[in-house]
Amino acid sequence: MSVFLKACRREPTPYTPIWIMRQAGRYQPEYRALRERVSFIELCKTPELACEVTVRAVDQLGVDAGIIFADILLILEPLQIGFEFTDDRGPRIMNPIRTAAQVDRIPERIDAARSLHYVMDAIRATTKELSVPLIGFAGAPFTLASYAIEGGGSKDYYETKKLMYGDEGLWNAFMARLSAAIADYLRAQIDAGAQAVQLFDSWVGCLSVADYRRYVLRHTKAIFDALPKDTPAIHFGTGNPALYPAMKEAGGDVIGIDWRISIDDAWSVLGDRVGLQGNMDPAALLTSPDVLRARASEVLQSAAGRPGHIFNLGHGIMPQATVDQARALVDHVHEASQR
């Protein structure tokens, strides 16, 4: 079994495994050159290209897992929520979800293996090329709901919270549809060959613990409850460490944490029956080699070699980083964590 999968199961490993969120992305010259030729959505929907960029990142960096190249918003298409990717303003939802009539038009179930077949084709192709495990992924229901309701990115989540607080029945109906689709999508990725999955709740940090428990927890839990128990599942959230105990209740073999809490403090709060993934500040990657190594060592020291730690950044790698910086991080983690 690979070191990554062993760490997901909290088993001892000879060193700390590492992969990097967005490890296939804009910081790579090859990726930027490819994007000059094809659009982002074309890249996502062409299995050969998605496989190519996924494998290249693993080969360049020497990481212990790949993550299939895709986007969390792809699932909105079979849910009949129109969107587009813009180079200047990011993703845009065509008709933001604000009414009961719109929610009623969203299918209660999708066949992800069919409607998102290009992701499954990319997974099947990529697993043939990789010597390390491949991670599948999806966006969590709160983060997807926020995109769909706000119409794109948001700083205050005003429309999301207005609907959530103002019409709890409509909110739950929307979240239930999202959760069912996400569970089906992740199961399809596992059936296609993904050896682990990650649920990204990138925007959940805007919520209080009480609101998370009332409006989100059960919908996220429904996803983890629907996944096969023999496939490790990572539950990533950012922006509010106070949410991590509730996120643990929602599910996941591993909780992905950001830099706002130390590894040892997180384990003290969550207990040792869950793995932890993280959590170096992505900005530390942009510093000098000495500072980069020192910051990475601080994370390793906080984890203290306990089984169940997977090294990662606390969020995606920044476009300003270089391949050499990312490779230096991977090499240092492997060398400094030898046991």
- 124 flagged as catalytic: no
What does the alpha-carbon distance between residue 49 and residue 109 come to, in Å, rounded to a whole number?
Answer: 29
- In DSSP terms, 254 is beta-bridged to 234, 275
How many other C-beta atoms are found inside a 10 Å radius of the C-beta of residue 255?
24
Which tokens is 244 given? 């991590």
Question: Do the strands 254-256 and 196-201 form a parallel or antiparallel pair, or are they unpaired?
Answer: unpaired
Active-site option among 9, 26, 260, 327: 26
- 147 flagged as catalytic: yes
Active-site option among 9, 71, 264, 281: 71
Quick one: CA dihedral 57, 142, 310, 9, positive or negative? negative
Active-site option among 10, 15, 22, 177: 22
What does the alpha-carbon distance between residue 26 and residue 39 come to, in Å, rounded to a whole number?
Answer: 13
Which tokens is 275 given? 């793995």
- 22 flagged as catalytic: yes
- In DSSP terms, 92 is beta-bridged to 84
Distance set, CA 106 to CA 84, 185, 239, 316 (Å)? 18, 16, 29, 30
Query: What 3-state DSSP class applies to 90?
Result: strand
Active-site option among 35, 92, 218, 260: 35
What does the alpha-carbon distance between residue 300 and residue 337 come to, in Å, rounded to a whole number?
Answer: 7
What does the alpha-carbon distance between residue 244 and residue 242 come to, in Å, rounded to a whole number?
Answer: 6
**Residue closest to 254 by CA, chosen among 222, 281, 279:** 279
How many other C-beta atoms are found inside a 10 Å radius of the C-beta of residue 221?
16
What does the alpha-carbon distance between residue 255 and residue 2 come to, in Å, rounded to a whole number?
Answer: 19
Active-site option among 15, 27, 31, 147: 147
Which tokens is 152 given? 């794109």
Active-site residue list = 22, 26, 35, 71, 147
